[in-house]
Copies of this chain bind each other. A is one copy, B any other.
């Protein structure tokens, strides 16, 4: 099963990378760009028996390693 873990900075946490991207887009002439947030995505191939097991595994991995839950939130999507 394929698990996709998306890790974003929590709302309210300053995101300098997102700010830099927003500024660069303005410099390139793109208009109407509001808030920009940058995050990470990790795609994992898991040997899980079913979707629930894959989700439990991926959430444990996110909590232990992939996300810093003090300042980051994560979401998990599972595909067969």
Q: Tell me the A residues contacting B by CB distance below 8 Å.
A: 6, 8, 18, 21-22, 24-25, 28, 30-48, 57, 60-61, 64-66
Q: Are A45 and B35 in contact (CB under 8 A)?
A: yes
**Nearest residue in B to A66 (C-beta to C-beta)?**
B21
Q: Are A28 and B66 in contact (CB under 8 A)?
A: no
Q: Are A65 and B34 in contact (CB under 8 A)?
A: no
Shortest CB–CB separation between residue A54 and chain B, in angstroms? 10
**Nearest residue in B to A29 (C-beta to C-beta)?**
B64
A76-B57 Cα distance, complex, nearest whole Å: 27
Q: Are A33 and B44 in contact (CB under 8 A)?
A: yes
Q: Are A44 and B36 in contact (CB under 8 A)?
A: yes
